[in-house]
Structure 1
């Protein structure tokens, strides 16, 4: 588990809190509690009351849209020093979570309750400004993510997903960048709301171009620049 100094460093690297003085940051840090999650644990369910926000200290989590039929579509992959679950927290009345968030790896997060965070913003103007900037950026990113789900074709959505996993949790290997968090094509299909057959066909197409290679079911990115170029729509 992280030391108090490590927790302060995580909060300092979080954009919403980066502009705080050391004194104010210590005040903020006192309101955060440490929580741990195993791989596959649910941090938020869609529809849950938005009673708290989290800052990821270590590990990675997936943010998804979850339909009533149980199918999901990946929105984002979030790593250390990212604040999640804050938009719904700042609704005038407590609202429900719009997304489903699960741990991709063993994850440690810092939790702050809704009322505590709102009270801190009233007491600390610099925090209020930081949160406004964070919320504006989060809403813009959310709009772009949902727009992507609606208008991107399958190859572009797949490329975007692979880039996210490569940048957030990729590990260099002789074959290329290993996407450690993707364990199977079925898992990838679930995250993209696509059938395994469609994912398999799209992966084979990418492999044919030399952008990726698949070995024993694991995906390696050989040409990250080419993969990124596919996401520029």
Structure 2
């Protein structure tokens, strides 16, 4: 006689929704922008959020598209680019978690000033700009958080401009590699792997040099056994010497 087996069970729609909500709330709690929110506040915000998955090369938003969403990067990496006068997209930043980008200010009727593209498999929360704007109008702490975020970006942009105007190419590239290592680095046997596909063109755009100059600097860093690199991969072999090369 065969023993009767219970029928297979499948997750219900309610279970899937609850799991998604728990995940969204967990990601929101890790976001400094809403760090002052209570659990009830986060739950009220989570109602409006959508969870998105993007794979390498997938667009998060395009330059000039209606700025309808604020995005919170939960996992992965997103590159931010803008079109040059020649019509080519030039990378000027790479974001890691818990970056906030998109319609940060909640402005009406504006387009995204840049293009955001997933560099790696990325998980994001999307919050409608209208819902975020409504919260800005009633939450002074959220408005202050946005001001802090914008001030941080302004200071970072100013530092980048100062670096471009006063430091040689080798220092700029070493400094940017150091920033990327601190944001994305994965320690491995005394080294630090950068799990993002960083091309010579991207590195050149991030540091304001030509791809040829970026290649020469990287060749020198490889010869000095400070970094190792190949097609779209980079490993920091000696962080201390890289920091020295960056003037730190």
Give the structure-2-normalised TM-score: 0.78
What do the CA deviations read for 1:64-100 (whole angstroms, capped 9, x no partner)?
Answer: 343132445443322222211244x434x43332333
1:144 to 159, 169, 187: 159
Note the C-alpha offset of 1:141: 2.4
Please state if 1:171 is matched with 2:186: yes
| Residue of structure 2 in register with 1:41 after alignment | 58
Quick one: structure 1 residues 26 and 49, their matched pair in 2 at CA, closer, same or farther if it must change by over 3 Å?
same
Q: Which runs of 5+ in 2 are unaligned?
A: 1-15
Aligned partners of 1:163 and 1:227 also within 8 Å? yes
Note the 1:148-167 alignment, pairs <5 A: 148-167=163-182
Matches within 5 A, 1:33-182: 33-87=50-104, 89-91=105-107, 93-174=108-189, 176-182=191-197
What's the TM-score once normalised by structure 1's chain length?
A: 0.83
Larger-gyration structure (1/2): 2
User: Which residue does 1:32 correspond to in 2?
Assistant: 49
Q: How does 1:187-202 map to 2 (within 5 A)?
A: 187-189=202-204, 192=207, 194-202=209-217
3-state SS of paired residue (2:192): strand
Preserved contact between residue 72 and residue 190 of structure 1 (Cα < 8 Å): no
For CA contacts below 8 A with separation 6 or more, give which structure has more relative contact order: 1
Unaligned runs of 5+ in 1: none
In the alignment, is the contact (CA less than 8 A) between 1:19 and 1:130 conserved in 2? Answer: no
Q: How many Å apart are 1:151 and its aligned residue? A: 4.5
